[in-house]
Structure 1
Amino acid sequence: MKILVIIPAYNEEDSIEEVVNKLKITQSEVDYIIINDCSTDNTVKICKNNSFNYINLPVNLGIGGGVQTGYRYAVENDYDIAIQMDGDGQHDPEGIDRLIKPIIEDGFDLVIGSRFITNDGFQSSVMRRTGIRFLKWLIKICCGVKINDTTSGFRASSKELTKHFSLEYAQDYPEPEAIIAAVLNGYRVCEVPVIMHERQGGESSINAFKSIYYMAKVSLAIFIYRIGSFKNVRERKL
């Protein structure tokens, strides 16, 4: 099977080289593409000097736009599985085998790497864990699926779902919205345990001051998506 690892990168000069080199060593049979989202540091220079595979976006699209670019690349190049993996060193490429197994063996469409199943490795801050638990409850209420690590950016998607995401994908903070979008469009979603690490460098796009805004925006988006799905079902019945 053709497998692509999508690595969105914005100012990841401290970690991108080690991330890609470790990926090459531990997963030599998979392909990868770095989506450089208009980094202002030396990320592009490092990619050029190391002859890494990368796409250099002409404007900053944010995490959603960057990942969607990767999905479009996967569709255009006929990949069977697309894997999202952060460029900051939090995600261990050794966990890729766990991500793809439910897709290959059991027909799942979205497999999320969760740090909260075995509670090994880096567990994030108390504030973020509180927000993640809230989103876990909200997604369970809205679409009936229990996902412990709703904001995990370490995930794999089937060929069919990758095509869907290449056409429709949330732009700002897409991970929780992608879960409910997948479920409500009839795709199968599950979780597998993975070990995550603290980021090797750079800064998260979601700081303490943005956390409240993030929670409000994502929660509203989930509600709107859920209401929209009810409307679509009713229209089809009529």
Structure 2
Amino acid sequence: MTAPPRVLAVLPAWNEEASLPLVLEELRAAAPDVDVLVVSDGSTDRTVASARAAGVRVLDLPINLGVGGAMRAGFKFALANGYDAVVQCDADGQHDPLDIPRLVEVAAETGADVVIGARFAGAGDYSARGPRRWAMRLLSTVLSRLVGTTLTDTTSGFKLSGPRAVALFAREYPAEYLGDTIEALVIAHRAGLTVHQLPVVMRPRAAGEPSHSPWRAGIFLARAGLALAVALSRPTPRPTTTHDLVTAA
């Protein structure tokens, strides 16, 4: 019998004290075999206290590094502690924890190194409009051709990374804006990793307000194009080796 994979859910969190208790309670109920790590990304509220009160492990970053920087810290933690897979999950309640076991199953069934929880793959009614929608479609088209498989949501922040991806991302995960989505997929592909997607339903935030607006959408469009150009211009990372899989950072 093969032992089930050790899975770590990493929640990058910046000032999410209001939503975090409910998210952690749901996660514990939906995926009791999955360990949880909250990475407080320079939070100035009670995010750290909320996470510790819920009994989960916490990395308390002294400054705000952005999602990419927080996730790289999470990948380093996972590699150092022998986890087989990492699931990136938002701390604001938009990702349904019930989908985490499904991500694990798809990775096992397909052998994919990265499984994206895709919002635009036929599940739910989540939509984006204006420049944001144009940017997402363009990115999905370009990256689908690059990796050789259909991807409809290349900016999703809900995804599973298997053993080879954990070892790669612990040393290569980009911290720049959109690097945790767009550039991470380019890095994975160039390192020989495979990418798959799973349709998921996006939920409303459990607390707080979304940051979308026409002005921000226009900025997103410009930054998305820049992020893709940067990703494609960078050198190919070295392949993940067996040594990487067994050596802690």
Is this a same-fold pair by TM over 0.5?
yes
Matched with 2:223 is 217
What amino acid maps onto 1:129 in structure 2? R
Secondary structure of 2:91's counterpart equals coil
Matched, 1:117 2:121: yes
Matched with 1:236 is none
Larger helix share, 1 or 2? 1
What amino acid maps onto 1:149 in structure 2? D
Asked if the contact 1:138–1:219 (Cα under 8 Å) also holds between the matched residues in 2, the reply is no
What amino acid maps onto 2:81 in structure 1? N
What amino acid maps onto 1:59 in structure 2? I
State the shift of 1:142 in Å: 4.2
What amino acid maps onto 1:180 in structure 2? V
What amino acid maps onto 1:133 in structure 2? R
Measured at CA, do residues 228 and 34 of structure 1 come closer, stay the same or move farther in structure 2, by a change above 3 Å? closer
CA RMSD of aligned residues (A): 2.1
Asked if the contact 1:142–1:226 (Cα under 8 Å) also holds between the matched residues in 2, the reply is no
Asked if the contact 1:4–1:31 (Cα under 8 Å) also holds between the matched residues in 2, the reply is yes
Matched, 1:48 2:78: no
Measured at CA, do residues 202 and 75 of structure 1 come closer, stay the same or move farther in structure 2, by a change above 3 Å? same
TM-score for both structures, normalised by structure 2 = 0.84
Matched with 1:235 is none
Matched, 1:126 2:129: yes
Asked if the contact 1:111–1:189 (Cα under 8 Å) also holds between the matched residues in 2, the reply is yes
Which structure 2 residues correspond to residues 50-199 of structure 1 after superposition, within 5 A?
A: 50-121=54-125, 123-127=126-130, 128-171=132-175, 172-173=177-178, 174-199=180-205
Counterpart-to-counterpart distance in 1, 2:76 and 2:25: 24
Measured at CA, do residues 57 and 228 of structure 1 come closer, stay the same or move farther in structure 2, by a change above 3 Å? closer
What amino acid maps onto 1:125 in structure 2? A
Matched with 1:2 is 6
Unaligned runs of 5+ in 2: 239-249
What amino acid maps onto 2:184 in structure 1? A
Asked if the contact 2:124–2:201 (Cα under 8 Å) also holds between the matched residues in 1, the reply is yes
Measured at CA, do residues 31 and 136 of structure 1 come closer, stay the same or move farther in structure 2, by a change above 3 Å? same
Matched, 1:202 2:173: no
Structure 1, residues 143-176: CA drift from partner, whole Å, max 9, x if none?
Answer: 4443101111110011111111110112122212
Unaligned runs of 5+ in 1: 233-238
State the shift of 1:205 in Å: 5.8
TM-score for both structures, normalised by structure 1 = 0.88
State the shift of 1:203 in Å: 4.1
Measured at CA, do residues 83 and 185 of structure 1 come closer, stay the same or move farther in structure 2, by a change above 3 Å? same
State the shift of 1:61 in Å: 0.8
Measured at CA, do residues 149 and 23 of structure 1 come closer, stay the same or move farther in structure 2, by a change above 3 Å? same
Matched, 1:35 2:39: yes
Asked if the contact 1:4–1:74 (Cα under 8 Å) also holds between the matched residues in 2, the reply is yes
Matched, 1:21 2:25: yes
Secondary structure of 1:217's counterpart equals helix
Asked if the contact 2:137–2:152 (Cα under 8 Å) also holds between the matched residues in 1, the reply is yes
Structure 1, residues 10-33: CA drift from partner, whole Å, max 9, x if none?
Answer: 111221000001000111111010
Aligned length in residues: 230
Question: Percent identity, aligned pairs only?
Answer: 34
